[in-house]
Amino acid sequence: MPRLIPEVRIVEVGPRDGLQSIKNAIPTETKIELIHRLRKAGLRAIELTSVVSPHRIPQLADCQQVLADPTIKLLLANEQEDLRLPVLVPNTKGLEIALSHDVKEVAVFVSATEGFSKANINSTVQQGIEKARTVAQKAIEAGIAVRGYVSCIFVDPYDGPTKPSSVLHCVKELIDMGCYEVSLGDTTGAGTPAKVTSLVRFLERNGIPLDQLAGHFHDTYGQGAVNVLQAYLCGIRVFDSSVGGLGGCPFAPGAKGNVSTEDLVFMFHNAGINTGVDLAKLAESGRWITERLKQPGSRSSQCVRELRPREKKSRLSSFRPVVYVKESWNRVKYSDSLHIYQTGTDLNVVLNRPNSGNALTKSMISGLIGCFRNHSSNPLISRIILTGNGRYFCTGLDARNKNGTNSERKPRFDDLMQLFEMIDQSPKTVIACLNGHARGAGAALAFVCDQRVMVKTATVDLSETRRRPFPVFVSRYGGLEWKHTLGSDAISSSRPITGTELKTLGLVAEIAEGQKDLRMKLETHLNCRGTITKNGCLANKEIDSDQSERYKLARM
């Protein structure tokens, strides 16, 4: 049975962010034991401590004792790809101390806003960036990895709302200085799902790759977990959290702890998304540390504690995917030839002229243009799925109108070009779900989308090219990609290309046995790792066959 590869990476910040603002002294041994408990619960990234001014953060003044502990040294020595143990440092002094303890990863931090930057690190934003750059350069020279944080992504406790452009500036700087990943810190916990979508889409539109972003949400208004889920739906796959929901920055008045790791793991596992963490062990560690620190702890930890031992064993001892099934697609728009449905943040656009091979009419093209125009800037939509009713996905332009006058034909051609441009430029991930054959402009429509899933029996061909000069849109959106992968004969002969052939070449993400399987594959694709990024159909290649099998069971 294939091992389930965790689909999200949780960066446990409890030993650093979780403890930094606890007033009463915590024994160093407790901090060390916490780190080991978290590791044993399956966490693969644990921020160990911070090396900052002990005058500013007295609770972590024993950072060197933690790092020098022989059992922590052993962990550091065995730090590999599947275990990361970053240490937060504000300056070269912190870096040098971290290096002297054989730390293999440091985290640098800047604020997007002036007020918090001054309060937290006694620097302006730009000075903070320069300090972080110096640390990053030296760390990279020393051969260790650097992670970055941007604080106050939504609101600064002193200055008020944050401009997205300020966040973008910091993210770009951190990536440019060599951070392999930048964690977006909602320091005050003022974020909401709509704000999350809007910021993530803004960053994405401005060239920030989603796989270099992480989410770091505080739970001040109880929005931590929904913000994580929303960021997940936007395509982020790395989240910081703190065991027991501990945490907060002493320089962000009013801010509460981080979103709790137990709540995140509970949420993800019940959505069928693996984290690699053992929830029972984690909940036990959460209970252990929060009791010691006299903190309330997380909701899910409390519930897990109340389960009887037998229930605990059967329900929580390992990851059991309960695949999230989209229960209903709500109709949002309807015309005879175009149906549009929505569920969550996904839009399903169905070409509905099954008796005419879903050939595109002028009104369908304008309907599609309208749909892409309206939803490209809609922060509540993250993905658009294009599919068809009947045996065909789309057979190109409506043949009945091809004999129209030039004046009738030209706007349609321009409209089609406009539609393809809009899909190509859309900030949303557009997935073609090929329920059947795609021909000519219909094939180009499938290929202008970011990703494709397809029934095995469907074929794709450029058959319009036999009768007419090679249309520019087909060459631009289908032909060139085919030429490079299938050879020019696929274009000149217009031979039908099978789904299996396209899958082998990496041009299709998933192949389904039939219509029912196609719906399941699409939903699995939507629910599984990597499908939301806009960077190609192969992002989701590794869908676990075991998981899709369980998915089928979940549907039965």
Q: List the catalytic residues.
A: 249
Nearer of residues 62 and 450 to ligand HMG, judged by Cβ: 62
Site string for ligand HMG, 164-203 (x = CB under 6 A): ---------------------x-x----------------
**Do 68 and 101 form a contact (C-beta atoms < 8 A)?**
yes
Alpha-carbon Rg for the chain, nearest whole angstrom, is 26
Nearer of residues 109 and 288 to ligand HMG, judged by Cβ: 109
**Do 97 and 64 form a contact (C-beta atoms < 8 A)?**
yes
**Binding of ligand HMG at residue 548 (CB under 6 A)?**
no
Nearer of residues 162 and 345 to ligand HMG, judged by Cβ: 162
DSSP codes, 273-335: ---S--HHHHHHHHHHHHHHHT----HHHHHHHHS-HHHHHHHHSS----------PEEEEE-
Nearer of residues 187 and 540 to ligand HMG, judged by Cβ: 187
Q: Which residues pair with 147 in a beta bridge?
A: 107, 181
How far is the C-alpha of 511 from the C-alpha of 78, rounded, in Å? 40
Identify residues 202-231 at the interface with ligand HMG (CB under 6 A): 216
Minimum CB–partner distance for residue 222 and ligand HMG (Å)? 17
**Binding of ligand HMG at residue 17 (CB under 6 A)?**
yes
201-205: long-range pairs with CB below 8 Å, 24+: 201/234, 201/379, 201/427, 202/164, 202/168, 203/164, 203/167, 203/168, 203/171, 204/234, 204/235, 204/427, 204/534, 205/427
Minimum CB–partner distance for residue 240 and ligand HMG (Å)? 8
Please tell me the count of residues contacting ligand HMG according to CB under 6 A: 25
**Binding of ligand HMG at residue 100 (CB under 6 A)?**
no
**Binding of ligand HMG at residue 314 (CB under 6 A)?**
no
**Binding of ligand HMG at residue 20 (CB under 6 A)?**
yes
DSSP codes, 142-196: TT-EEEEEEE-SSEETTTEEPPHHHHHHHHHHHHHTT-SEEEEEETT----HHHH
Nearer of residues 298 and 345 to ligand HMG, judged by Cβ: 298
Part in contact with ligand HMG (CB under 6 A); list of ranges 114-122, 401-409, 496-504, 511-519: 114-122
**Do 494 and 459 form a contact (C-beta atoms < 8 A)?**
no
**Contact with ligand HMG (CB under 6 A): which of 53, 295, 366, 376?**
53
Part in contact with ligand HMG (CB under 6 A); list of ranges 87-95, 204-212, 328-336, 531-539: 87-95
185 phi/psi in degrees, rounded to 5:
-95, 115
How far is the C-alpha of 152 from the C-alpha of 164, rounded, in Å? 10
**Contact with ligand HMG (CB under 6 A): which of 122, 165, 330, 488?**
122
**Contact with ligand HMG (CB under 6 A): which of 11, 35, 43, 51?**
51
Site string for ligand HMG, 235-274 (x = CB under 6 A): --------------x-------------------------
| CA 363 to each of CA 93, 420, 479: distance values in angstroms, whole numbers, following the listed order | 65, 15, 26
**Do 399 and 463 form a contact (C-beta atoms < 8 A)?**
no
Part in contact with ligand HMG (CB under 6 A); list of ranges 35-43, 86-94, 174-182, 525-533: 86-94
Minimum CB–partner distance for residue 52 and ligand HMG (Å)? 3
Nearer of residues 20 and 494 to ligand HMG, judged by Cβ: 20
Minimum CB–partner distance for residue 167 and ligand HMG (Å)? 11
Nearer of residues 31 and 269 to ligand HMG, judged by Cβ: 31
How far is the C-alpha of 151 from the C-alpha of 533, rounded, in Å? 24
| CA nearest neighbour of 255 among 216, 206, 208, 290 | 216
**Binding of ligand HMG at residue 46 (CB under 6 A)?**
no
Give the interface with ligand HMG as residue ranges (CB under 6 A). 17, 20, 50-57, 89-91, 93-94, 109, 120-122, 149, 151, 185, 187, 216, 249
